[in-house]
Amino acid sequence: MGKRIGNQTVKLENRPRIINTTSIVGPKEGQGPLSKYFDIILKDDLDGQESYEKAESKMLYCAITETIKKANLKESDINYLFCGDLLNQLISSNFAARDLDIPFIGLYGACSTMAESLGLGAMIVDAGFAEYAIAATSSHFSSAERQFRAPLEMGGQKPPCSQWTVTGTGSMLIGKDGNFPYVTYVTNGKVKDYGIKDTNNMGAAMAPAAVDTIKQHLQDTGRKPEDYDLIATGDLGKIGKKITEELLKEYGFNVQDVYIDCGEEIFDCKKQNVHSGGSGCGCSASVASGYIYKNLLSGKFKKVLLVSTGALMSPTSSFQGESIPGIAHAVAIEFGGSKND
């Protein structure tokens, strides 16, 4: 089986490096508890553009080009751009990519796209098919509301279980060499559907996929939750996080001491009126590119399991009464070793 271990995991023997990252968020996210970890905080959600969709694409383009610039590279040095977003036909990513001189592979994993793109980029570099790859994704509160729920002008009320789509983006440059955090394992998830139909309760819809992927990663690698300094799901919010903890305990895995959810961390849920927390492609992307990456560099974290989670719904499927399938992808990122190497 070569580099494959267990049922769903790949061990990356060459340990591709995450050479640098860029995180950009909107004003609301910039007022949250992780503000000091973000590279750029927008002054307003439109960022000088005519629409929220154009603002999202600009934000993504800026994150990618800034990431390349930090490494003193040119766009032509990047072999692949793995990128996606939440909008129909990936318009944020496609329109950003049209202004970039980089071969583009568009991805849709809903809010799981950051770990999906990072995992694929790392595997491509590890296999020797690329010298450099960029993994990136974005979301925008207002563009997501317009597509998945209702335009903001309608003033719809949100229930307590709902989440606030993060206006944010994260970009990661993956390469072969250097003293940087590196990717050791990639566990791609299976689609799980437990019959949740409430589009305002996506944390509950995605939690079973997060549980399945974390469980499979631990079983495939032989690791235990305490081998990680941090296990971070992407976009479950408070409700989905609680469900995930409880279900993992049923499988014999107690993650409570090392587990966070990016959607719960990026906002102060009570003070910022975001109900169950954050969601969206840009949630785990900005937290991973900002908070997690910078704490790996500082030595606070040595082993992190990033598990981005996605709700694979669309307005069409919801109108037809379909339930909400979930997906989760896991990437192990390490730097400097730890007590359980």
Distance CA 269, CA 265 (A): 9
Closest listed residue to residue 168, CA positions, set 269, 10, 13, 45: 45
- The CATH number of whichever domain residue 293 belongs to comes to 3.40.47.40
Contacts of 92 (CB under 8 A, 6+ apart): 53, 56, 57, 60, 85, 86, 138, 140, 143
In the chain, the number of structural domains is 1
**From CA 304, how far away is CA 3, in angstroms rounded?**
20
Residues contacting 42, CB < 8 A, separation 6+: 24, 25, 26, 27, 30, 55, 59, 167
Q: Does the residue 340 lie in any domain?
A: no
Query: Which neighbouring-strand residues pair with 175?
Result: 17, 132
Which amino acid is it at 79?
N
169 assigned to some structural domain: yes
Q: Report d(CA 234, CA 231) in Å as an integer.
A: 10
Q: Which domain holds residue 42?
A: 1-334
Residue 60 token pair: 């993504």
pLDDT surpassing 60 at residue 159? no
pLDDT by residue (tens digit) across 307-316? 999 989 888 8
Domain-located, residue 339: no
User: pLDDT tens digits for 42-51?
Assistant: 999 999 999 9
pLDDT surpassing 60 at residue 338: no
- pLDDT at position 41 over 50: yes
The per-residue pLDDT for 275 is: 66
Structure confidence at residue 340 (pLDDT): 45
- The answer to whether 264 touches 237, Cβ cutoff 8 Å, is yes
Confidence label for 301 from pLDDT (cuts 50, 70 and 90): very high
pLDDT of residue 26 exceeding 70: yes
Q: Is residue 341 part of a domain?
A: no
* Amino acid 339: pLDDT: 38
pLDDT of residue 239: 87
